[in-house]
Amino acid sequence: MSESGEFQRSSSHFTDRITAGGAGGGGRDGQWPVEAGRYRLVVSRACPWASRALVVRRLLGLEEALSLAVTDPIQDERSWRFTLDPDDRDPVLGIRFLGEAYQAREPGYDGGISVPAIVDVPSGELVTNDYQRLTLDLSTEWGPLHRDGAPELYPEALRDEIDERMEGIYQDVNNGVYRAGFAGGQEAYDAAYARLFARLDQVSEHLAERRYLVGDTITEADVRLFTTLVRFDAVYHGHFKCNRNKLTEDRVLWAYARDLFQTPGFGDTVDFDHIKRHYYQVHQDINPTRIVPRGPDLRGWRTAHHRQELGGRPFGDGTPPPPPPTAEVIQPL
């Protein structure tokens, strides 16, 4: 928090990368090798930053190459915990708390413990918690392990435009809802609120006559916008005071979000129960009663969106991902 009451997000502390040309050993030069089965992706289904990795992993078909650990949506003083697993312990890493992997990497580490995180299974060490880079590397460096028909989410010819779109959306929307929700003063809140809705209005206008943010296929930019939009009415509108209007009241953005939600790889990674319980029960300074609202009615996510009338090819020359592995299926709406 700044002196003016503005929320300031901490940067990722562990920014090693897993690359096609990475080191063959422990990655002490900051580069780890792409290797099927070596790493475990740790996520909370409540977290929008982790949800990016869930969507990209599904779209690219990396489920067998990169195993998944899902934490309890409710943290305690030791942060993310594996209480959804037998004996409250991740069955692959053998740990009770994600912080143990942080300590294995850097003994005595006392900073934040965040998801998504990738852990090296043989050593039990954290490799990276760099949520901004992680999904881009899954798209560009893990290519040999992608499924047949995987879409190109970060095409080289469009990267400048994708990066520009993602930067504005990150600053004003992805992080903007947090700047509003965790603002420590009226002025900081008002500024975040104004930037958030100015950007959403701009994006809505941009999407009015095109199906996707960049080009005619789904890209990383769509993934990043989606993970905030899908949480908007459930938590950000009320809990974070982002209440000029609901997502459902913006005709374009509501249809765009439903289009993506109904696309294989997006909605099948969303767990509204985890999302709502995390925000309303963990942020006790905002919601001291820890009461979780019953609404909103989620059935609208399955209604017709008609965005296909704008054209576009969701997966480009690729194909939709197959259904998720049985162990990762979320109860449908």
pLDDT in the model for residue 322: 97
Q: Is the pLDDT of residue 24 over 60?
A: no
Q: Which of 178, 189, 212, 280 is catalytic?
A: 178
> Residue 292 contacts by C-beta under 8 Å, 6 or more apart in sequence?
276, 277, 280, 281
Question: Got the DSSP string for 162-196?
Answer: HHHHHHHHIIIIITHHHHHHT-SSHHHHHHHHHHH
The residue behind tokens 């920014």 is 15
* Side-chain half-sphere exposure of 141, counting CA atoms within 13 A: 18
- Read off the pLDDT of each residue in 28-53 and give the average, rounded to a whole number: 94
- Read off the pLDDT of each residue in 220-249 and give the average, rounded to a whole number: 98
pLDDT in the model for residue 3: 55
- Read off the pLDDT of each residue in 257-273 and give the average, rounded to a whole number: 98
Instruction: Output the CA torsion 52→55→59→61 (10° steps).
Output: 100
Is 242 assigned a catalytic role?
Answer: no
* CA separation for the pair 266, 260 (Å, rounded): 6
Structure tokens at 248: 């459902």
Residues 105-146 pLDDT 10s: 999 999 999 999 999 999 999 999 999 999 999 999 999 999
Q: Which of 39, 47, 189, 242 is catalytic?
A: 47
- Read off the pLDDT of each residue in 75-83 and give the average, rounded to a whole number: 93
pTM for this predicted structure: 0.96
Structure tokens at 47: 């977290």
Is 178 assigned a catalytic role?
Answer: yes
- Read off the pLDDT of each residue in 60-85 and give the average, rounded to a whole number: 96
